[in-house]
Amino acid sequence: MRLALNEEWAVGARIGGGGFGAVFEAENPAGEKAAVKLVPKTPGTEREMLFTDLDGVRNVVPVIDSGEHEDQWVLVMPRAEKSLRDHLQEHGQLPLNEAVAVLSDVAEALADLKDREVVHRDLKPENVLLLGGHWCLADFGIARYAEATTAQHTYKGAGSLPYMAPEVWKYQRATGATDIYALGVLAYELLEGARPFTGPAEHDYQEQHLHGTPPPLTTAPPLLAALITECLFRAPQGRPAAGNVLARLGQIPAAPLSGGLAALAQANQGAVARQAEADRRASAHATEADRRKTLAEAATTSFSLIADASLTALTAAAPSAEVRKGNQGGWAVRINDAQLTLSGPRETAPEVWRTTSTPAPFDVIASAILSLKVPANYHGYEGRSHSLWYADAQTEDQYQWFETAFMDTRCAPPREPWSPSRSTLTTNHAPPSARG
C-alpha cells in the first residue's frame, strides 16, 4: 500500500497496534524509515483530537506527517528502536540506575506537558518508545479519541486498566496528576518486574485501584520507594507534580545510604507506606470531607518526612542537645537556655480559614508551629514563631507545606512575645488577599 500525504509513503508489514489503530512500517522515497498509524474514523470524533502541539516538549515522539486514507486518519512518526514493553519483555525488571533513567525521561516529558496543560491519559510501557537515545512518550490524543467513540459510562477508551488512576474510575476529569499515577504504576513495574495491581478482570482493577494497597516495594531504595508511593496516592492533589518527581529522581543516590541517613530514609518509607494504606481505605465516593481527610493524611506523611529530616540535621550538628519527642511527629531540641520546638500537625477546619467578607485565597488543610524560645529581652520578646501550613498557596489544587510568619507593627501593642509570630488560624484572623 502507498499513502500520498505531504510525502509519499510505502507501507509495509504491521508492527503493532491495538483497539484504536494499527501500526505499520513505512518508508519514503528518500529511504527514511517511519511508523504509520492508521486510526479508524468513527462517529462523534474529530481529527483534531489526535493532534496536539508538542513543539519544544522534551522526550515525545513527534508526528512528522499526517492526513487521511479512505475511512482512516493517518499519523506518521519516526521509527523507534523499540517500546519499553519490548525492553521489559527482553530484560525483565530493570536495575536501579536504568529504571531511574527511564523514569527521568518520562518525567521530563510530563513536566513540559504540564506547562501546556496537556494530559496524555494513557501512559504505559507500550506508549514509551526508545528514540534517539531517550525514552519518549507516544500516542498523544489516542485515549481522548477512543473515549469519544464509547458510551458515556464505560471505561473502554479511558486508558489502560492496570494504569488507570482512581479519579478515572470515578468518571472524574483527567489531569496531570492522572499521568503521575500511571507513572507510579510504571515505576513500580520497572523495579519489581510486576505491576502493583494485577486484576485480572475490569471490576478487579476497579476495586484494587480504589481501595487496594500495593505490595511493598522490595528492590527500590527508600527515597525512591517513598516517591513511587506518593505517586500512587488516591487523592490527585496529594501526588507530586511532574517537576517535583523529576527533581527527586535526580536526588536518588547511586550508592546505598548508610548510617543515620539510611535509617531515616527507611523510616520515611514506612511512614509513606502507612499513609498510602490509610489513603486507599477511604471511601470510593469523593465528598468534601473525604477530600480533606485524604489530604490531611498526605499532610501528615509529608510533615513526618520534613520533621525527621530536620531533627536528624539538628542532632548531627549539635549532638549534645537535649531532644524530646512530641505528638504526631513533633519534637523539641534544647541547648542551654534556647529551645527550638516543632509542634505536630493539626487539621484545619474549613470555616477557620474563612471570613464573612473575604473569600479564602487558598485552602489550608493542616497547620503546625515552629518556634524558637530564648530568654526574654528588654522588650519582652522571647524569640520567634513561624506557621507551617499545608495548603495550595502557590498553585490551585497542588498542596505542600509552606512556612510563613507575621510581624507586629511598632504602633500597636504586641499580641504575644514573639517576633515574627505565627498565625493561630482562628476565625478572627483574616487571610492574605491573594494566592502566592
Domain with CATH 1.10.510.10 in the chain: 82-284
Please write the tens of the pLDDT for every residue from 64-83: 998 888 888 898 999 999 99
Q: Which CATH number fits domain 2-78: 3.40.630.30, 3.30.750.24, 3.30.200.20, 1.10.1740.10?
A: 3.30.200.20
Identify which has the larger pLDDT, 397 or 148: 397
Does the structure show a pLDDT above 70 at 286? no
Among 105, 112, 122, 179, the one annotated catalytic: 122
- Give the model's confidence band at 382: pLDDT under 50 very low, under 70 low, under 90 confident, else very high: confident
Residues in the chain: 436
Percentage, residues of the chain above pLDDT 90: 49
What one-character DSSP code corresponds to residue 60? B
Cβ atoms of 160 and 167 closer than 8 Å: no
Q: Which amino acid is at 407?
A: M
Q: What is the pLDDT at residue 51?
A: 67
| Cis peptide preceding 166, ω within 30 of 0 | no
Please write the tens of the pLDDT for every residue from 405-422: 765 544 444 445 544 445
CATH fold for the domain made of 82-284: Transferase(Phosphotransferase); domain 1 (1.10.510)
Please write the tens of the pLDDT for every residue from 185-217: 999 999 999 999 999 999 999 999 998 889 989
Percentage, residues of the chain above pLDDT 70: 76
Highest mean pLDDT among 122-131, 133-142, 265-274, 321-330: 122-131
Q: What is the pLDDT at residue 49?
A: 63
List 331's β-bridge partners, or say none.
325, 342
Does the structure show a pLDDT above 50 at 428? no
Identify which has the larger pLDDT, 51 or 187: 187
Active site residue 122: yes
What secondary structure, in 3-state letters, does 99-154 show?
A: HHHHHHHHHHHHHHHHHHCCCCCCCCHHHEEEECCEEEECCCCHHHHHHHCCCCCC
The upper half-sphere exposure of residue 301, i.e. CA atoms within 13 Å in the direction of its Cβ, equals 28
Domain with CATH 3.30.200.20 in the chain: 2-78
Give the helix ranges, DSSP H, for 281-324: 288-317
